[in-house]
Amino acid sequence: MNAVTIYDPTLRDGQHAVRHQLGAAAIGGYARAANAAGIPVVEVGHGNGLGASSLQVGRAAVSDDAMLSTVREALTTSRMGVFMLPGWGTSADLRKAVGHGADILRIGVHCTETSLAERHLEFLRAEGAEAHCVLMMSHMATPAELAEHAADAVGYGAQAVGIMDSAGHFLPEDVTERIGAIAGAVDVPVIFHGHNNLGMAVANSVAAAGAGATIIDGCARGFGAGAGNTQLEALVPVLERTGFRTGIDLYALLDAAEFAERELMPAPPVIGSLSIVSGLAGVFSGFKHQVLDHAARGGVDPRDVFFELGRRQAIAGQEDLIVDVVAELSSRGSGGSGGSGGSGGSGANGRKGVVA
């Protein structure tokens, strides 16, 4: 059996689903449960990563320092991961995370802007830390472009590199193409992180493993933005059945998932109508709450907002664009034009039949 490393961002990506309000007790409890299950890496932080707690994207209930120290204390065998988006976090935040004992530090960048990670990856390597790089909104680039940017990240010092299906837009063949291209271009482990907007996250993750990814992300009960992430307790046995060894204790993993459902979330994520539209439009799922809030105030259809954001190729960090889109739709009357542009098999950004 081929080995894959499971990377669990429940305590980071899941924060999007609860507006970053996870408390220290719940964070510590899940970290202990994940550690007991033998999950190799447990990631923690604000949903947008180190240094991101703010009025713009939401204040976290617990500081970065408190989250890091809580999880570090809870993990005896699992490694601790953190995530940072340049522009939200800084090298000072990375240094702080290293000081708290973070084992793996991921830098996330838009899929065609790998140069933004250069300084941070070089800093982490100089600190002797394990540095990874993930290319976000990866449906916006071709397989060849992703391979080129992944190779650049490795040149900057990334010790693993891969893609996030940030909008839950991919089908398995899309993943196979992209992961295969990246695996052929680099000599470091390849990462895949899926979202479940179209119900394909587990299938896409298995496709990624088959194409050469050796680090696969998943969250307990799929806890994450919008329709959620790849459901971890389903992913692990499916990977095992298809010939990939994870080393995770199934019963303890199921116990961790039960804890997560009981203590972390009001309810597990579902593939709602707006999440499907988000996936079709190719828009970051984490926009869901803000789209709903602004659309309600502006009296417009949130589905139209998502399709318009897709046409404008909005990416994480451009939350202010939601306000502009709502204002424009409100001024001209939101009559479902965005939805009609996305129906009948439209791909990202309203281009019919195209997976960007």
Catalytic positions: 16
DSSP per-residue string spanning 136-191:
ESGGGS-HHHHHHHHHHHHHHT-SEEEEE-TTS---HHHHHHHHHHHHHH-SS-EE
- Give the C-alpha separation, 128 to 220, whole Å: 30
Asked if 241 contacts 4 with a C-beta cutoff of 8 angstroms, the reply is no
- Give the C-alpha separation, 119 to 137, whole Å: 21
* β 215-217/2-3 pair status: unpaired
Asked if 215 contacts 180 with a C-beta cutoff of 8 angstroms, the reply is no
- Give the C-alpha separation, 14 to 111, whole Å: 22
Rounded to the nearest 5°, which phi and psi values hold at 108?
Answer: -105, 135
Asked if 215 contacts 159 with a C-beta cutoff of 8 angstroms, the reply is no
Asked if 286 contacts 228 with a C-beta cutoff of 8 angstroms, the reply is no
- Sign of the torsion angle spanned by Cα atoms 95, 101, 103, 108: negative
- Give the C-alpha separation, 15 to 31, whole Å: 14
DSSP per-residue string spanning 100-126:
TT-SEEEEEEETT-GGGGHHHHHHHHH
CA 227, 229, 232 angle in degrees (round to 5)?
Answer: 130
Asked if 169 contacts 199 with a C-beta cutoff of 8 angstroms, the reply is no
Tokens of 288: 């869901």
- Residue 128 CB partners (closer than 8 Å, separation 6+): none
